[in-house]
Amino acid sequence: MIIKIDIADAAIAEEVLRIQIPAYRVEAELIDFYEIPPLKDTVVTLVKCGETFYGYYINDELCGAIAITVENNIIDIHRLIIHPNHFRKGIARKLLHHIESVEGSRNEIVVSTGSKNEPAVNLYKQSGFIETGVIEIEKRLSIAFFKKILNEADSTHTEGA
**68-108 tens-digit pLDDT:** 999 999 999 999 999 999 999 999 999 999 999 998 688 99
pTM of the model: 0.89
Residue 140 has what pLDDT? 83
Give just the sign of the alpha carbon dihedral 21, 92, 87, 120: negative
In the CATH hierarchy, which fold is given to the domain comprising 2-156? Answer: Aminopeptidase (3.40.630)
| Burial call 5-14: b when 16+ CB within 10 Å, e when fewer | bebeeeebbe
Burial of 21 (0-12, 13-18, 19+ CB in 10 A): middle
pLDDT grade, residue 159 (50/70/90)? very low
Distance CA 5, CA 13 (A): 9
Residue 151 has what pLDDT? 78
Domain ranges (residues) in the chain: 2-156
∠ CA 35-40-44, nearest 5°, is: 160
The partner residues of 110 in beta bridges, in order of sequence, read 76, 147
Distance CA 29, CA 42 (A): 20
Q: What average pLDDT does range 109-122 have in this prediction?
A: 95
Q: What one-letter code names the amino acid at 98? A: H
Angle between helices 118-126 and 91-103 (to 10 degrees): 40
* β-bridge pairing 74-82 and 130-138: unpaired
Percent of the chain with pLDDT over 70: 93
Q: What one-letter code names the amino acid at 126? A: Q
Is 28 within 8 Å of 38 (Cβ atoms)?
no
Structure-model confidence comparison of residues 138 and 22, the more confident one: 22
Is 104 within 8 Å of 77 (Cβ atoms)?
no
